[in-house]
Amino acid sequence: MSKTLLKNGRLICPSEKLDMLGHIIIEGDHIASVVTQLPDNADFDTVIDCNGCVIMPGAIDMRVQSADPGAEHLESLSDLLAAAGNAGITQLVSLPATSPVIDSAVMIDSLKLRASSYKGALFHLYGAMTQSLDNKHMAELGMMAKAGVVGFANSLESVSNSLLMRRIMTYSKMLDKPIIHHCSDPYLSKDTDMNESETAIRLGLIGEPSIAETIILERDLNLVSLTGCRYHAAHISTASSIEALRLAKRKGLPVTADTSPAYFLLNDKATADYNTSFRLNPPLRDEADRLAIIDAIADGTIDAIASDHHPIEMDRKMLPFGQAACGAAGVETLLPLAFSLFHTHSISLTKIVNALSVAPAKTLCLPIPKLAIGTKANITIVKLSSSSVIRGSDFMSQSQITPFEHYLIDSKVAGCFVNGISVTS
């Protein structure tokens, strides 16, 4: 059985209320010791000096759109899992908007079997809320739950039919699975190009009002109150949505939320030169919304930070802004961008680690990642002071379009272990 020593790191584990300088010993696939003093005369197969690094429970990316099956030329499942592991992500959850759509137990069984043979991040799935994401007919939620999905989502297709949404929530409550919902009123967001703002007017682009998100969110929260379903609001981007979530949490509703780095690091002025790398869904919002998102991460209104990884073909981006596809790569920049909140906004390391590991696990009822003796050695190591520039061409994945091209970061992933195996190159 191999033995690995991670020494001289800052151990941060929210679930164990741990924040100290220390060392971790990995034996086989589990954590054998968490200590402040190294044992005498111990032999190790591998020793990694983690001086200047945070050693944290393995990061979980709870919002990833795999291109496989259906668009393997963009990014195969094996490439995605390898790139995620190399980027410090020990587990990821894939959305159902593949081709064919993940709306049956057969699809789930097939993908889980394939993923189990690949090195890198561990793989989980959301089942589609509606058949083929059609927003008309509820999918076979019970069969997918038995097949092992961690929740139900409709990718970027918001369920606008309130009666259908109520039925989906009622069944999800019975199955004890969360709903993960993209909130966007389809009538207010249809044929829009970017956020409704002065920038949109100046660029001659059609704007989506921020209430397009909040209207659907507030409806969903009322349905949560009615059904008792566990509900997760995905990639929240507006200040008004934050206020709705705060109120729901004060009422004690079973509600959680995530956001993505684009919504706390960028605003809609980034689109000023029509760079389609910034065409995302939801669209980049204004500065007041961006600052509200940061405050919501700091006070816990937003529970988790996810990558919103969505690979897009280059020829679908090399179009006029309003015609270009929404989406960008995200898994390989998630951790350094999340840790930028520590460097630029003094959000605590414990809060950031929680948003990247513990909160996603709690939301999806996965085993809580922790730095504790006897637990699986799923560990992420982040070097806090290591300046570099993001370049899509450096990504391991074939998906290399990023809104953070040439963005300066102050942290980098220094290591990642999945079930005791190093998955970083």
Angle (CA) 13-367-116 rounded to 5° is: 115
Give the C-alpha separation, 53 to 366, whole Å: 26
Q: Is 179 left (phi over 0), alpha (psi -120 to 50) or beta?
A: beta
Show the tokens assigned to 403: 């809104």
Instruction: Give the H or E element holding residue 170.
Output: helix 162-175
Torsion, Cα 90 398 149 373, to 10 degrees, reads -10
Nearest to 400 by CA among 312, 306, 322: 312
Backbone Cα Rg of the chain: 21
Q: Which residues are catalytic?
A: 308
Give the C-alpha separation, 237 to 210, whole Å: 8
Torsion, Cα 30 16 411 75, to 10 degrees, reads 50
Give the C-alpha separation, 314 to 330, whole Å: 15
Torsion, Cα 295 385 380 4, to 10 degrees, reads -160
Nearest to 260 by CA among 233, 288, 230: 233
Instruction: Give the H or E element holding residue 47.
Output: strand 46-49
Give the C-alpha separation, 172 to 383, whole Å: 40
